[in-house]
Amino acid sequence: MLSMLLVESGNVDTPAVKDSTILRSTTYCPQCPENNCYKCTLGHNNTLVASSGGLAFLQSLVGFNMPVAATQVESCTIQIPAFLTHQYPLTVIISLAAATEWNEDTVDGSNAPVAGDIITSVDVPAYNNLGAVDISAACKAAVNGEFSIYFSAGSNRYEFWSKDSGNPAILYIITNGN
C-alpha cells in the first residue's frame, strides 16, 4: 500500500513512476516478438511517442503515485519534457487510463489499459512545447494515490523524453489541506 502524506495547503511535486510507448499496428514489426507490433514492450526507451498517422497508432502511457490523498487535491497539472522534434502544429490529447496495474517491463499493445475519457485536448503551434496542463480530474480520480494517463496525437507525431532518460513528466499538485 502506498503511503500518503497529510499536508497543509500547499504545493507538492512528484515525478512519473513509470511510462511507456504503446504501439498498435497491423504492419510487420521485425524488432518485436513474433514480428507482431502489438507485442513490442517499449517501457524502457529514452523517449515516448504519440502518433495517429500512417499504419501505426502510438500512445504514451504515464503512471503516477501521488504522495497525497485524492481528497487533498485542489488542482494539479502535468508538465512533460520538451518535444524532441516538432516542426508542425499538433494536437495533444490527454486521457485517463482505465487501469493503473501495468508494468513497464511487460506492457504492450495487447495488454495495455484501455484509454478512458478525454481529460483535455491542447493545440500546440509548430516549434513550441506543451506547457503545464490541468489534469485535476485525473488526480481527483486516483485510487490509492495511483493513476495513469495517455498522451495521444490528434494530429501529427510528437516525441518527448521519458523517465528512463532522466527527464520524467512531473505532476504539480496544489493541496487543500483536507
Give the DSSP H or E segment for 139: helix 136-140
Query: What CATH number labels 10-175?
Result: 2.60.120
Residue 91, class by beta-carbon neighbours within 10 Å (0-12 exposed, 13-18 middle, 19+ buried)?
Answer: middle
Reading the chain (178 residues) residue by residue, the pLDDT tens digits are: 344 444 456 899 999 999 999 998 888 888 999 999 999 999 999 999 999 877 778 999 999 999 999 999 999 999 999 999 778 899 999 999 998 999 999 999 999 999 999 999 999 999 999 999 999 999 999 999 999 999 999 878 899 999 999 999 999 999 986 6
Which residues, other chains included, contact 30 with Cβ-Cβ below 8 Å and sequence gap of 6+? none
Q: Where are the domains of the chain?
A: 10-175
Q: Residue 5 in contact with residue 175, Cβ under 8 Å?
A: no
